[in-house]
Structure 1
Amino acid sequence: MKRLAYLILPLALMACGKTPEPTPLASPEPAPPAADAPTAAPAASVDASASLGAHHWQLQQATTAAGQRIDALFVREDAPITLDFSDGRLGISNTCNRMSGAYALEGAVLRVSRLAATMMACADATLMALDQEVGKRLEGNSGFVLEQGAEPTLKLTAANGDVLTFKGQATAETRFGGPGERMFLEVAAETKACSHPLIPNKQCLQVREIKYDDAGIKQDSGEWQNFYDEIEGYTHERGVRNVLRVNRYERKPVPADASSNAYVLDMVVETENMAK
């Protein structure tokens, strides 16, 4: 059985302002600035936006205005709700469906538009309800407090007084100093023994790269090969074939006894249970 994951990617519109005409030197009174002249964002907001985009934000604590823990937001203890901010868009993962919406940071207020979501049903009723629980606390205006540091903390206070605290983890782009190379890897259902100088009895993933033409048609994938590296964020399940979208980063400097490349899972595109 195959499961395909589709991500809704709304377009972000950008507005341009008009530049005001310079005031003539002979004018006795300064000319008023144009009403729609763009203004520079405060330095604090710029720094906060940069920090938001440089981290994945995992939910650590959620309490009501009365201080009670909000259990409905911790359905998946091993996979906490995670926020990602990029180019004016907020992405929410580890819910039933992946959710997204536009956001704006205005001083001490985070404004989030109506959230869109993929249309995937979840067998677990509490997980299915998680989307609504998250949406009703993040949509609209929330109080915003960002504490910078080695392990930054983001605190959001919803309109009803609920307080959500997130811990920041550096993104792969932040850790590796730039964007990675996007690629698709097909991972076979079974691993195979492979020779490794440092790991006796190592089992390697069987992987082949998938390429697509300009029309999105899959090309010949080639031969299966031993994959000696790890794919960060991916756990292989025996008997299950996957197609992964990953980002490949170049390590600089290259650690001792490590590959020059690092692979980070972006999403699982296709899954098929090969067990009979």
Structure 2
Amino acid sequence: MINNRVVKGSFKTSALLMLALTGCQTVNTNPSAPSERVPDAQPAIFIGKAPTVDDLQSYHWQLSGVNTYPNSTNPPPSDHLKPQIDNHKVTLDFTQNRISYSVGCNQLSSGYRLQGDKLQASTNAVTTLMDCGSLQQSETWLAQQMQSQSQLSMMIMSWQTHAMLQQDLADGTALIWDGILKPEVKYGKGETVFLEVKPKWQYCDNVTDRKCLEVRDINYDTQGLKTAVGQWYILDAHIINYRHDESAQRVLRLTRYRTPPTDTKGYGSLYQLDSVIETKTLAK
């Protein structure tokens, strides 16, 4: 069993844990890359509510715990699911009309209906077709749970950058999701850019031991033909959802958001990965 000892129907333990963590919250999106600090000028205050569709789709949700109780009839396959939870691989996202979720293998998506605090996803889920190996059991379990009716309770931190969602399932299990406000909600509409990324990490500066990516700007025309290539430079900024390794040189399609002085020292940029559009594998 995976059990964080959260009282069913209550955020008591989880909220206290989040209060301890969010006095000065650090978000790391790249190994060895600089961390983004969430402002800590005010104490973390959680506001409980039944979520609306707008609330749900404003956050990217990561599963932080599964709580089973004596009346749970379908406990999760903890041997395979727990490592995915620990590595933030189990995710949930909402749009106005669809819900999508994953245990770190296939992406499953279906329509859903929210009536008050009751969530009902449709049973005809669309999925990618990767072979999940040992994760197949966890993926099947999550799909079964998401396609049954559940009850939602949400708590939003006072400055709204983080939230928590408790999903009580029909079989007596509760899923606890941590929500991070999506960049497009926090910063407004971003712009599409393309960066080529060198495989090897570089030092960000001559003072610290922080490491950054070495990149250059790529421009394409409306037909997708490359029109300009910039000079290489050190990118001292986050790329959300990008996991770098040193085995290949890549061209990334990104959304770039302008960030205010409260988030960085002066105006800067935050990047989010849309897709990898080109990969050059290095010869061994």
Q: How does 1:248-267 map to 2 (within 5 A)?
A: 248-253=256-261, 257=265, 260-267=268-275
- One-letter identity of the residue aligned with 1:144: L
Per-residue Cα deviation, 1:68-98 (whole angstroms, up to 9, x for no partner): 7631432422124111112222222452112
Amino acid at match of 2:181: A
Report what 1:108 is aligned to.
117
Task: State the Cα distance separating 1:157 from its structure 2 match.
Answer: 2.4
Measured in 2, the distance between the counterparts of 1:201 and 1:162 equals 44
State the shift of 1:129 in Å.
3.3
Match for residue 157 of structure 2?
149
* Equivalent residue number for residue 227 of structure 1: 234
State the distance in 2 between where 1:236 and 1:199 align. 23
- Alpha-carbon separation, structure 2, partners of 1:149 and 1:133: 30
From 91, 94, 99, give the equivalent of 2:108: 99
Partners of 2:181 and 2:62 lie apart in 1 by 11
Of the three residues 182, 195, 219, the one matched with 1:171 is 182
Between stretches 164-173 and 245-254, larger displacement belongs to 245-254
Once the two structures are TM-superposed, the CA of residue 255 in structure 1 deviates from its matched residue by 5.9
Between stretches 94-103 and 199-208, larger displacement belongs to 199-208
Cα offset, 1:127, TM superposition: 2.3
The residue correspondences of 1:1-276 to structure 2 (distance < 5 A) are 48-66=52-70, 70=76, 71=78, 72-76=80-84, 77-113=86-122, 114-122=124-132, 125-150=133-158, 151-176=162-187, 178-191=188-201, 196=205, 199=207, 204-215=212-223, 217-220=224-227, 222-233=229-240, 234-253=242-261, 257=265, 260-276=268-284
What TM-score do you get using the length of structure 1 for normalisation?
0.68
Choose between structure 1 and 2: higher helix proportion: 2
Query: Distance between the aligned counterparts of 2:137 and 2:155, measured in 1?
Result: 30
Deviations 1:133-162 (A, max 9, x none): 211110142222223334432122233332
Q: Tell me if the contact between 2:103 and 2:139 (Cα under 8 Å) persists in the aligned partners.
A: no
- Partner in structure 2 of residue 32 of structure 1: none
Name the SS of the counterpart of 1:74 in structure 2: helix
Verify the 8 A CA contact 2:102 2:139 in the aligned structure 1: no
Stretches of structure 2 lacking an aligned partner (at least 5 in a row)? 1-48
Change (3 A) 1:254 1:100: same
Aligned residues: 226
Aligned-residue offset at 1:272: 4.5
Quickly say closer, same or farther: Cα 1:74–1:200, change in 2 above 3 A: closer
For structure 1, the residue ranges without an aligned partner over 5 or more in a row are 1-43
Identity of aligned residues (%): 28
Q: CA RMSD in A?
A: 3.0
